Chains A and B, each alone.
Chain A
Amino acid sequence: MKPVLTCRDIKVDFDGFYALKGVNLNVFHEEVRFLIGPNGAGKTTLLDVICGKTRATNGQVIFEGSGQIDKMQEHKIASAGIARKFQAPSIFPKLTVFENLELSVKQKKSVWALLTAKLNSEVKAKIDYILEKINLQNERNREAGELAHGQKQWLEIGMQLIQEPNLLLLDEPIAGMSGVEREKTGYLIHDIAKECSVLVVEHDMDFVRNFSKQVTVMHEGAVLCEGSMAEVQENEQVVEVYLGRGKKVC
């Protein structure tokens, strides 16, 4: 099977500190891949490299249909079909929920296209569909900045979905959510995966256990191992990394 996304030997040098030391990763169609690992493992940096926010010092990112994307500008990468949800909700606080989604709809993104864009029934239907999915139907005309934290997270996920991406990058999507909200988000992610591949960075192990099939463990800027959660938990290196060497000796 051909992967949607291939990362080859990605290295990132932050003024002498290597945040990534040669990462290889394949993400396949309709896959939900979880990226886990201790703090500072380079998970977020890897997402940054894929979406163009951080430039890799070495290596290639190849995206199905667009070829090598690691030299492209951020907006070109986004247009190619990679959507990114950031860790801290980054929505447009002074715009309404509806307007936030309206701007995110998959459309031509030139100045002229936006000047002449009309809010037709097709766009409206899309927005309504997403609003329902992210459970914000009743908040559509509120300023996004007034939403609760969990709702903001959902809105941002919605903004990514409505772009109809081929690959969705989620950075800690459930941070700051309540138990019920977490579960909803988990099902939402699997729902999304029917249409696109998803790469999730997550710290919450229970959440990963419940909703993951394939897990990639990162440590100190490199991939430690890959497999199902059960396999990964058996891996000695992973145990060592998570629990620390001292504990193992005991």
Chain B
Amino acid sequence: MKNISRSSYALLFIFLLCAPLFLHDFRVALLAKFLCFAILAVGICLIWGYTGILSLGHGVFFGLGAYCVAMYLKLEASPTGIPDFMGWSGIVELPGLWKPFANPYFAISAAVIVPVLLALVLGYFTFKNRIRGVYFSLISQALVVVFVTLFIGKQEITGGTNGLTNFSTAFGISLTNRGVQQVLYFITVGFLLLTVAFALWLTKSRAGKLLMAIREGENRVRFLGYNPTSFKVFVYCVSAALAGVAGGLFVLQVGMISPEMMGIIPSIEMVLWVAVGGRYSIFGAVIGAILTNSAKSFFSESYPDFWLFFLGGLFILVVLVMPNGLVGLGKSVGEKITSRIKKKEKEDVQHEAGPYVS
């Protein structure tokens, strides 16, 4: 079993590294976007699959990461030093909030730190009071509503419904250049590799086992002397950080971010990616994100009206029929095959042994 999982990871990353060789540039760009989502999906797998906390608000962390990087890109793309949309609202001086984002290193670190801080504060104040299950999920969803209305409402600072777009350079290098796009693709693959390695290490560590124990019986964990609050806040922050990284990488490659991309619907879709792949498996989260999004782009290219029916059906299907996702499906099929082979071998052995026994 261990070998199977190892070789499937190897196959996946070999495929990802070779993809630019045989895929059209346009497809590679799409794949790069999906890989950002895969990084985020690993975070959701850790908090939902392993720890049993369903967050319906990861779009916010993704969005915050993306906005942090986008603010830097936007400033670099504004020759006057003031983003165009601010000019339209009649702002002549750059708001204080924006000033530090002229520094790319600040912006990149903020893309991780800001989501983590938000997760830290919200996580601490909810988990400390033992708010969990549906309560927490609903609160995390309300968080999305708050941020989306805030980002749309404060148009003069955030760019409103349109979000931040129209930027083309980072560190003075053009982002639309083919070579740069490819480098960005490989950087994303690298980040995904790091993310997966980190997640595997975490889940194999004793802390990872405790996360599972929290999922199985949070109160039992307390009576073993652990404080579940700190572990839950920790895993919430980790997954927020991964979402922030994903958002930052996303904006570099896609070139835009808007409140719509962090809303309620994308947030809950993120959970679906993990559910499709298999919520208890890091590998499942990665392939779930890639496959679900591939299906989405296929449908929206060919049958845009049909996509929502498909998506809705997928939610129901994944919950009712395959709670362990594609990985679970693969596993049970694999087990059936091996048990059949074993059975056959046994029968063969019995056949051979037959005469001697009688």
Q: What is A's interface to B at a CB cutoff of 8 Å?
A: 51, 53, 73-75, 78-79, 83-84, 86, 90-95, 99, 102-104, 109-111, 114-115, 117, 119, 159, 163
Residue B209 contacts which of A79, A102, A159 (CB distance < 8 angstroms)?
A102
Choose from B205, B207, B212 the contact partner of A92 (Cβ within 8 Å). Answer: B212
Q: Tell me the smallest distance from the CB of A127 to a CB of chain B, in Å.
A: 12
Residues in A neighbouring B228, C-beta threshold 8 A? 75
Q: Is B268 an interface residue (CB 8 A)?
A: no
Which partner residue on chain A sits nearest B202 by CB separation? A115
- Selecting from B64-72, B97-105, B214-222, the interface stretch reads B214-222
Chain B residues positioned under 8 Å from A99 (CB to CB): 209
On chain A, the residues within 8 Å of B205 by CB distance are 114-115, 117
- Residues from chain A with a CB closer than 8 A to the CB of B224 are 75, 78, 103-104, 109, 159, 163
Query: B234 near A: Cβ within 8 Å?
Result: yes
Q: How far is the CB of A223 from chain B (nearest CB, A)?
A: 25
Question: When A and B form their complex, which 6 residue pairs have the shortest distance between CB atoms, in order from nearest?
Answer: A78-B225, A114-B207, A74-B222, A92-B216, A117-B206, A79-B225
Complex contacts, B231 vs chain A, CB 8 Å: 111, 114
Q: Which residues of A contact B213 (CB under 8 A)?
A: 92, 95, 103
B303 at interface, CB cutoff 8 A: no
Q: Once the chains bind, are B223 and A74 in contact (CB under 8 Å)?
A: yes
Residues of chain B with a CB closer than 8 A to A74's CB: 219, 222-223
Name the contact of A114 in the complex, choosing from B210, B216, B223 (C-beta under 8 A): B210
Contact of A110 among B202, B217, B230 (CB under 8 A): B230
Q: What's the nearest-Cβ distance from chain A to residue B178, in Å?
A: 41
The answer to whether B207 and A111 have CB atoms under 8 Å apart is: yes
Given contacts A103-B210, A109-B226, 12 further A-B contacts (CB under 8 A): A74-B223, A75-B224, A75-B225, A78-B224, A92-B212, A92-B213, A93-B216, A94-B212, A104-B224, A114-B207, A114-B210, A119-B206
Instruction: Determine if B225 and A95 form an interchain contact, defined as CB atoms under 8 angstroms apart.
Output: no
Do A103 and B216 have beta carbons less than 8 Å apart? no
Cα separation A114 to B226 with both chains bound (whole Å): 10
> Of the candidates A51, A83, A86, A95, which one forms a contact with B216 in the assembled complex, judged by CB atoms under 8 Å apart?
A95
Whether A51 and B206, one on each chain, are in contact in the complex, defined by CB atoms closer than 8 angstroms, is no
Contact (Cβ within 8 A) B216 A78: no
Task: For A86, list chain B residues within 8 Å (CB).
Answer: 220, 223
Are the C-beta atoms of B222 and A114 separated by less than 8 Å?
A: no
A102 touching B206, Cβ below 8 Å? yes
- Kindly state whether residue B166 has any CB partner on chain A within 8 Å: no
- Given A75-B227, A109-B225, A110-B230 in contact, is the A95-B209 Cβ separation under 8 Å? yes
Q: Do A75 and B206 have beta carbons less than 8 Å apart?
A: no
16 pairs, A vs B, C-beta closer than 8 Å:
A53-B219, A74-B219, A75-B223, A75-B225, A78-B222, A78-B224, A90-B217, A92-B216, A94-B216, A95-B212, A103-B206, A109-B226, A111-B231, A115-B205, A117-B207, A163-B225
User: How close is B193's CB to chain A, nearest CB, in angstroms?
Assistant: 20
- Do A51 and B210 touch across chains, with their CB atoms under 8 A apart? no
Instruction: For A108, give the chain B residue with the smallest CB separation.
Output: B225
A-contacting residues, B222-256, CB 8 Å:
222-228, 230-231, 234
- Are A75 and B222 in contact, CB atoms less than 8 angstroms apart? yes
Neighbouring A residues of B227 by C-beta, 8 Å: 73, 75, 109
Within 8 A of A (CB), among B99-121: none
Q: Which of A75, A110, A119 has the most CB of B within 10 A?
A: A75
B72 to chain A, nearest CB (A): 32
Task: Please measure, in the bound complex, the distance between the C-alpha atom of A103 and the C-alpha atom of B210, giving whole angstroms.
Answer: 7
Q: Judging by beta carbons under 8 Å apart, are A92 and B217 in contact? A: yes
- Residues of chain B within 8 A (CB-CB) of A51 are 223
Chain A, residue nearest B224 (CB): A104
Residues of A within 8 A of B234 (CB): 111
A109 surroundings in chain B (CB, below 8 A): 224-227
- Minimal beta-carbon separation of A83 from chain B (angstroms): 8
Q: Closest Cβ of chain B: how far from A185's Cβ, in Å? A: 20
Please determine whether B230 and A111 come into contact, CB atoms closer than 8 angstroms. Answer: yes
Cβ–Cβ < 8 Å partners of A103 in chain B? 206, 209-210, 213, 224, 226
Closest residue of chain B to A115 (Cβ to Cβ) is B207
Q: How far is the CB of B41 from chain A (nearest CB, A)?
A: 21
Question: A103 to B221, alpha carbons, bound, how many Å?
Answer: 9
- Complex alpha-carbon distance, A115 and B206, angstroms: 6
